[in-house]
Amino acid sequence: MDLYEMSLEELKQLRKDVEKAIETYEARQMAEARAKLEVMAAEMGVKLEDVVAVGGKGKSQGVPKYCHPKDPTKTWTGKGRKPGWFIQAVEEEGMNPDDLKI
């Protein structure tokens, strides 16, 4: 790929695609790891959920009420400190909090 041969529109689209890939990188890695672990658990005759549940009872995280407008893996229950993405969407981008509700 020769960046100097690309049009302005192609460069802008490339930038948008790269930003999206960066934003979703961790979620994609987690999904890939989960898929591999599910296969390993199945080979051993158990469900991954059963293996993970053995770890004990943790504090409930609550039910998410708000979702990041571009990355659905980022959520917030509406309790506690507001996450940075929520603050940015509402205060800096002028979005209505109701628009972010799940």
Whether 64 and 44 share a structural domain: no
The pLDDT of residue 57 is above 60:
no
Whether 77 and 96 share a structural domain: yes
Question: Helices 25-43 and 8-23: crossing angle, nearest 10°?
Answer: 50
The pLDDT of residue 53 is above 80:
no
User: What pLDDT, on the 0 to 100 scale, is given for residue 50?
Assistant: 82
pLDDT digits (tens, 9 = 90+) for 7-31: 999 999 999 999 988 888 988 898 8
Distance, CA of 99 to CA of 47 (rounded, Å): 37
For 29, the domain range is 1-57
Whether 4 and 17 share a structural domain: yes
Whether 38 and 71 share a structural domain: no
Spatial CA neighbour of 73 closest among 19, 16, 27: 27
User: What pLDDT, on the 0 to 100 scale, is given for residue 18?
Assistant: 94
Spatial CA neighbour of 11 closest among 24, 2, 21: 2
Other beta carbons within 10 angstroms of residue 89's beta carbon come to 20
Whether 64 and 52 share a structural domain: no
How many domains does one find in the chain?
A: 2
The mean pLDDT of the chain is 87
